[in-house]
Amino acid sequence: MRLLLTWLINAVALIALPYVFTSITVDSFFPTALVVALVLGLVNTLIRPLLVILTLPVTILTLGLFIFVINGLLFWAVGSFVTGFHVAGFWSGVFGAIVYSIIFVVAVLAADGQEDLSPEYSPCPISRKLYSVEFYPPRSPEGVVKLRARARSSRSCSPRSSR
């Protein structure tokens, strides 16, 4: 169920992306956004780790910034293979991948507000909830986005049973 929800949130994030970048287009939610979300998930699962390992020296020399290049290239590649999803160029792919990730994180925080974040050894479960998304300064398109989240512990803290 969680995998299906993640897939749908990815598809919604893809539909929201053309509103931020005019150089990225998605024809429709069904089937284009769903297929692109699936292909992006497969590419990030199968191909991205190999590229990260192969380009590790360059990534170390650039202090990790080369990961953005890898993400942009993969996003651009998916845009050239899937019909109905178009990424205009390399820089559109890089910035589109960054904004796509941000939209996805905000959507997951908004949709999954009561996830248990506590480690196995913790006697008190901790949950998170997204309370607001604010822009600073207000009404400024180049302003800073601030996400306010709060972690809280449940009222009854009893040690978990040992396994």
Q: Where are the domains of the chain?
A: 2-112, 116-163
Asked if residues 92 and 21 have their Cβ atoms less than 8 Å apart, the reply is: yes
How large is the average pLDDT for residues 127-133? 51
Helix axis angle for 90-111 and 2-20, nearest 10°, is 130
pLDDT at 128 over 90: no
Structure tokens at 140: 């400024």
List, for residues 14-47, the tens digit of each pLDDT value: 999 999 989 999 999 989 999 999 999 999 999 9
Rg (CA), the chain: 19
Q: What is the DSSP letter of 163?
A: -
Asked if residues 28 and 83 have their Cβ atoms less than 8 Å apart, the reply is: no
pLDDT at 88 over 50: yes
Band of pLDDT at residue 111, cut at 50, 70 and 90: confident
pTM score above 0.75:
no
Torsion of Cα atoms, 75 then 81 then 85 then 88, to 10°:
60
Asked if residues 34 and 12 have their Cβ atoms less than 8 Å apart, the reply is: no
Q: What is the mean pLDDT of the chain?
A: 79
Residue 128, SS3? Answer: strand
Task: List, in sequence order, every residue forming a beta bridge with 153; answer none if it has no partner.
Answer: 126
Residue 124, SS3? Answer: coil
pLDDT at 121 over 70: no
